[in-house]
């Protein structure tokens, strides 16, 4: 992973805009991400001596992003990895059906974070921050009828195309006067 830029936050009238502060938080989280090894039996020393693109690979059960030739990343799980053959078999659920893909272009396979059953409420906390992980998180939350998701101080809303009983006076009073982020979106 290449060097990441640093943004200095200044106090007073020359203070950095809020967007720069958010960028710094995200950059800091990504910079301290632990390196991935292939699996425990190969060991960290072997992983470090491997080609750079191989650091994204894992062993059976690891969660990954990959492009099966459609031009965008989809989430999958490693079924098998052959280091000598440089081939990985990945399973993804497409239209509700599990499908297996055998990949020889390992540069298109990237490690991914488990977002849990309900997704992550604030997407600033996503470790592998990229377009695919943001959209996947919104999809998970939408399917659980969590149509609101934070991205720092920004509230992302996905139109459910149906009415929810969440806009009553009781809910308004619950959020009134609260600091942003103290309650779920």
Matching residue, tokens 């690891």? 62
Helices (H), 1-160: 18-31, 44-49, 131-143
The whole-angstrom separation of Cα 101 and Cα 127 is 25
According to the model, what pLDDT value does residue 101 have?
95
Mean pLDDT over 118-147 rounds to 94
Q: Could you tell me the residue ranges of all domains in the chain? A: 52-111, 114-175
pLDDT level of residue 39 (50, 70, 90 thresholds):
very low
Residues 136-178 pLDDT 10s: 999 999 999 999 999 999 999 999 898 887 778 888 899 899 9
The whole-angstrom separation of Cα 107 and Cα 140 is 26
pLDDT level of residue 65 (50, 70, 90 thresholds):
very high
pTM of structure:
0.66
Q: What is the CATH number of domain 52-111?
A: 2.30.30
According to the model, what pLDDT value does residue 57 have?
57
Of residues 99, 127, 101, the one with CA closest to residue 113: 127
Lowest average pLDDT, out of 2-6, 96-100, 118-122, goes to: 2-6
């Amino acid at each position: 992973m290449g060097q990441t830029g640093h943004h200095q936050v200044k106090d007073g009238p020359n203070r950095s805009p809020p967007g720069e502060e958010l960028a710094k938080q995200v950059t800091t989280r990504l910079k301290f991400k632990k390196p991935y090894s292939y699996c425990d039996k190969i060991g960290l020393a072997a992983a470090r001596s491997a080609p750079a693109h191989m650091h994204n690979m894992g062993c059976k059960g690891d969660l990954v992003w990959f492009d099966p030739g459609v031009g965008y990343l989809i989430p999958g799980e490693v079924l098998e990895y052959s280091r000598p053959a440089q081939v990985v078999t990945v399973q993804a659920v497409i239209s509700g059906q599990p499908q297996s893909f055998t990949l020889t272009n390992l540069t298109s396979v990237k490690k991914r974070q488990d977002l849990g059953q309900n997704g992550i409420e604030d997407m600033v906390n996503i470790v592998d921050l990229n377009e695919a992980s943001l959209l996947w998180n919104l999809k998970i939350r939408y399917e659980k009828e969590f149509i609101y998701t934070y991205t720092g101080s920004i509230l992302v809303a996905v139109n459910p195309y149906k009415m929810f009983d969440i806009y009553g006076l009781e809910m308004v009073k619950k959020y009134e006067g609260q600091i942003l982020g103290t309650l779920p979106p």
